[in-house]
Amino acid sequence: MQIGIHNTAKEKGWWDNPRNKGECIALMHSEVTEAYLARKAGNPPDDKIPEFSGLQAELADVVIRILDFGAGHNYDVVDFNAPLDIDFDDEDFFNEVNMHLSNAIEALRESDIDVSRYKTSLSLCSCVKLITTYFEDEDYIMGAMRAKTAFNKTRPKMHGGKKF
C-alpha cells in the first residue's frame, strides 16, 4: 500500500520538486487537527469519502502522509518496532499523536544523521501504531485509507493548485 500511495503522490506532482521534511510533518499535524475538528463537530460523514466519518478520513490522511513521507525520504515508518503504552482516553489520543509528530520534527534537527533517521522513524511509526489501534477494528482505518487513496487518484495534479 505504501508504494501505491507514494506513486499516486508522484503522479499528482507532489514530488516534482524536493519536499521539505519539516513541511511534510507539519502537514501531518494539520490532518490531526482536521480529525480533531471533525470529532468536535459531531463526526459527520467526510465530504470526499462519505461512507466514512470525518474522523476516519482525516486520520487516514495522517497515515497516508506518513507512508508517503517514508517512501519519498526512505524512512522506515511501517515495520519499525515502536513500543507504545496505549492507555489514554479520547482527548489524550490527539495529544499523543501530535506529541509524536513534534518529536519527529525535533529528530530532524539532530546533527547525527543516523540518530535523526532513527528518532524520526520511531516517532512516525508510533503515530501509525496509535492511529491504527485507536479504532477497535483495524479494518476501519484501513478501509478509509483505501477509499481515500482511490479518491486521491481521481484528483487533479497538486489537487488543483495547492502549493504544498
Predicted confidence at residue 81, as pLDDT, reads: 64
Per-residue pLDDT, averaged over 95-120, amounts to: 93
pTM recorded for the entire structure: 0.93
Name the amino acid, one letter, at 100: H
Distance CA 5, CA 11 (A): 10
Per-residue pLDDT band at 16 (split at 50, 70, 90): very high
pLDDT of 22-55, one tens digit each?
A: 999 999 999 999 999 999 999 999 999 999 999 9
Residue count (the chain): 164
- pLDDT value for 160: 80
Q: What is the pLDDT of residue 17?
A: 94
Q: What number of helices (H) and strands (E) belong to the chain?
A: 7, 0
Q: What is the pLDDT of residue 137?
A: 75
Angle, helices 54-73 vs 21-40, to 10°: value is: 170
DSSP 8-class letter at 136: S
Paired strand residues for 149 = none
Give the pLDDT confidence score for residue 161 in this predicted structure: 74
Long-range contacts for 89-97 (Cβ within 8 Å, ≥24 apart)? 90/39, 93/130, 93/134, 94/32, 94/35, 94/36, 96/130, 97/32, 97/62, 97/127, 97/130, 97/131
Domain ranges of the chain: 2-150
Spatial separation of the C-alpha atoms in residues 45 and 54, rounded to whole Å: 5
Look up residue 45 and give its three cell numbers.
460523514
Identify the residue whose cell numbers are 499516486: 8
Taking only Cα atoms into account, the Rg of the chain, rounded to an integer number of angstroms, comes to: 15
Check residue 83 and give its pLDDT: 64
> What's the pLDDT tens digit per position in 132-153?
888 877 788 899 999 999 999 9
- Cα–Cα distance between 46 and 52 in angstroms, integer? 6
